[in-house]
Structure 1
Amino acid sequence: MSGMADPRKAGAGPISRARLDRGRGALGPALELVHTGRAPTRAVLTAELGVTRATAGAVAAELEALGLIRVDARPSAPAGSQGRPSHRLEVAENGPVALAAQVHTDGFRAALVGLGGRIVATTPGCEAVDADPAKVLGAVVEAGADLLRATGRRCVGAGLAVPSAVAEPDGLALNPLHLAWPAGEPVRRIFTDLVHAAGITGPAFAGNDVNLAALAEHRHGAGRGARHLLCVATGHRGVGGALVLDGRLHTGSSGLALEVGHLTVNPEGRVCHCGSRGCLDVEADPLALLTEAGLDPGPEVSLLDQADDLLRTRYAEPAVRAAAETLIDRLGLGLAGLVNILNPDRVILGGLHRGLLNADPERLRAVVAERSLWGQSGSVPILPCTLDHDSLVGAAELAWQPVLDDPLAALR
């Protein structure tokens, strides 16, 4: 590591070698602390890592030499403070990026995402999704490759978010129902082959879009600081859920955990594509809101955009308010059951559910508190997701993870 004594040089004894090993072992944890905003200064980094000031300084210098962070050795002191302020740490503005891709019912998008969850560049969203996953993924990878060429950024890898459970270890999209893709498509292999064929270096990954949104929100958004985070979201169609436990995404034994869309919230309700009736998936998504309001969804604009616009511009109309309250009650019933089972310390809502929460937060929180054992003994915070394109940011997190685990190995 630069800035540390090399034990192979004359005069380097056991103490220097131990310091070097500790420093290298701390690179990943240090980068993650800066990446998630938990170490804004070298003093905080020293305390969080439990190392000496010298080791923390050498670790920060090495990460800066790798082009990952920036160390400001002469930060301005806050007014009224005494003593020299600690060196400030932040992610490098022009550092490497990850290629992130997202496919949903109404289109797809590619983006470049740097450390800190910052979207550096993004393509316009495409509004057509072919029934052949290879054609769709080929188009989104090509769009991402164009972004990389235009920006000249180094790429550490690629991540893909899809609206389907993704089974491990093979990366199969088991239920991409609203995409009209065949069940069990090997999306990770297809995506990986296309990424490498485009000359993009680094590993490639794929995951469920709500899982990845939860991961992004936990590291950079409304879920930051939560130990046990429950995320429930509806995008363009259907409802998904995700759970982060002690900072790690909980995906179950084979990647299929938290299929919350098939909780029954209205036993006499609509028939669900799973064969049951009244599932959250068909009772609390954008199509359900439009239908409850007595509206015919138009084909020109995505269902999510239509539903969001309805809440934003026509909520005062009795039919729209009644439809929203019906969905809020169904969503609250589902959330209460999940809170009873999982006992999270925070719940975050994305997509249309964020709009329903903003429309009538007290009603939703009251339903959850009334129906939930833990809600009655102490309210569980229910917050809206805060990141734009959180599934894209989460897809990038998959690609960044090897760098966070071992920066030296990943970048060499």
Structure 2
Amino acid sequence: MNGKGTTARTRLERGRGALGPALELVHTGRAPTRAVLTAELGVTRATAGAVAAELEALGLIRVDSRPGAGAGSQGRPSHRLSIDDKGPVALAAQVHADGFRAALVGLGGRIVATAPVRSTVTADPAQVLGEVVEAGAGLLRTTGLRCVGAGLAVPSAVAEPEGTALNPLHLAWPAGAPVREIFAERVRAAGIEGPAFTGNDVNLAALAEHRHGAGRGAQHLLCVATGHRGVGGALVLDGRLHTGSAGLALEVGHLTVNPEGRPCYCGSKGCLDVEADPLAFLTAAGRAPGPEVSLLQQARDLLRTEHADPAVRRATEELIDRLGLGLAGLVNILNPDRIILGGLHRELLDADPERLRAVVADRSLWGRSGGVPILPCTLDHNSLVGAAEVAWQPVLDDPLGALAP
């Protein structure tokens, strides 16, 4: 082969090797133009152009070769890169104590379509997962979009490599339920293309926030959240979830923050799981929870509309102090460079950010050295988006291999 042919083949191989990294840069918003893509990949402009063209041919991104120049700009503007809004999607599903939901999520963390929330979660995981997959399959039939895979978020530690839900306490599911196996079987039975994945809901929320939300740019991101019941945590290190040797790391809900507190399901007392979730807030405020809406919504409504009530204000301070104590312990152990809070914890941060930050700083060694930024999560339905992220990962790793006919 002549020298020109060898150069073309080398460029093609180099470009194909860069497809995954390039797609991830566009997916996470870090490469809005071809010029930025070229710099981030460390390749020539010609190679970056070939990579962008291949991703466009796969139906994943759009390349605008005639972008308008900004006011006062000089020279020819670089091609703009964006997600193809008619491209493939991932099926995302989430189950929690008060219901379940299915959605279709495209690249960029964009929720394309959602099915109505179902409010009844039975004690049979096979029935629930069958219903949520069928809801997702209905969305795929309606939209006609191609599906790359499916992801499921559950409120339980998920053991690896088995994919079993070890402690789905608030769902009344049996401990050790084989949720990944059941979910994958229901996905196949529904005729949905692509692999199926399952993970802990807070882990997946942290992954989504790191790529698309409040955690972008963090090297060591700690996420703590309370949704409908209980408290969960997650750690993202250099862009990857830290799940431990068996998928069970960061069970932060079982940090003791009140030694004389409420009995916890784990057998201890005063764990964050039962001292800083929506039920704990309602109880501390002297409010009996009702059946009309979720506990999370009841707690949010109380915090937003009755914060002037002395009992609600005391409950807010009480939960902030407990949460801050737990966060301080985590800061001492993990030394994160950013903390993000989700669910009711985001509302508590908004209610009195100075109090929470002061508790963390006062009770942690590294907090005193300058403070760790504590921010609210910013994505709506971040566990759903995170479930889609793990379904998208094979495509991000190897777009050609995952999508080739």
Question: Shorter chain as normaliser: what TM range?
Answer: over 0.9
1:355 partner letter: E
Instruction: Report the CA distance between 1:20 and its aligned residue.
Output: 1.1
Aligned to 2:372: 380
**Structure 1 segments (4+ residues) deviating >2 Å:** 10-14
1:165-203 CA distances to partner (integer Å, 9 max, x unpaired)?
Answer: 000001000000000000001100100000010000000
1:189-223 CA distances to partner (integer Å, 9 max, x unpaired)?
Answer: 10000001000000000000000000000000000
1:288-329 CA distances to partner (integer Å, 9 max, x unpaired)?
Answer: 000000010001211000001111111111100100100000
Q: Matched residues in 2 for 1:360 and 1:72: separation?
A: 45
> Does residue 300 of structure 1 match 2:297?
no
Aligned to 2:179: 187
> Does residue 32 of structure 1 match 2:24?
yes
Aligned to 2:15: 23
Aligned to 1:217: 209
Mapping 1:163-178, distance limit 5 Å? 163-178=155-170
1:307 partner letter: A
Instruction: Report the CA distance between 1:124 and its aligned residue.
Output: 1.3
Q: Matched residues in 2 for 1:243 and 1:224: separation?
A: 13
Mapping 1:264-283, distance limit 5 Å? 264-283=256-275
Instruction: Report the CA distance between 1:385 and its aligned residue.
Output: 0.2
Out of 27, 30, 46, the residue aligned to residue 54 of structure 1 is: 46
Q: Matched residues in 2 for 1:98 and 1:11: separation?
A: 43
Mapping 1:339-378, distance limit 5 Å? 339-378=331-370
Q: Matched residues in 1 for 2:354 and 2:308: separation?
A: 17
Aligned to 1:3: none
Q: Matched residues in 2 for 1:53 and 1:11: separation?
A: 20
Mapping 1:73-88, distance limit 5 Å? 73-88=65-80
1:103-152 CA distances to partner (integer Å, 9 max, x unpaired)?
Answer: 00000000000000000000111110010000000000000000000000
Out of 327, 351, 369, the residue aligned to residue 335 of structure 1 is: 327
Q: Matched residues in 2 for 1:177 and 1:58: separation?
A: 51
> Does residue 398 of structure 1 match 2:398?
no
> Does residue 13 of structure 1 match 2:5?
yes
Instruction: Report the CA distance between 1:14 and its aligned residue.
Output: 2.3
1:318-357 CA distances to partner (integer Å, 9 max, x unpaired)?
Answer: 1001001000000000000000100000000000000000
Q: Secondary structure at the match of 2:181?
A: helix
Q: Secondary structure at the match of 1:243?
A: strand
2:243 partner letter: T
Q: Secondary structure at the match of 1:102?
A: strand
Q: Matched residues in 1 for 2:139 and 2:3: separation?
A: 49
Aligned to 2:83: 91
Q: Matched residues in 1 for 2:372 and 2:150: separation?
A: 35
Instruction: Report the CA distance between 1:13 and its aligned residue.
Output: 2.8
Q: Matched residues in 2 for 1:361 and 1:122: separation?
A: 33
CA RMSD of aligned residues (A): 0.8
Aligned to 1:153: 145
Q: Secondary structure at the match of 1:13?
A: helix
Q: Secondary structure at the match of 1:373?
A: coil
Higher mean displacement: 11-20 or 396-405 = 11-20
Q: Secondary structure at the match of 1:125?
A: coil
TM-score, structure 2 normalization: 0.99
Q: Matched residues in 2 for 1:208 and 1:158: separation?
A: 14
Q: Secondary structure at the match of 1:366?
A: helix
Aligned to 1:323: 315
2:339 partner letter: V
Q: Secondary structure at the match of 1:33?
A: helix
Query: Kindly, what percent of the aligned residue pairs are identical?
Result: 84
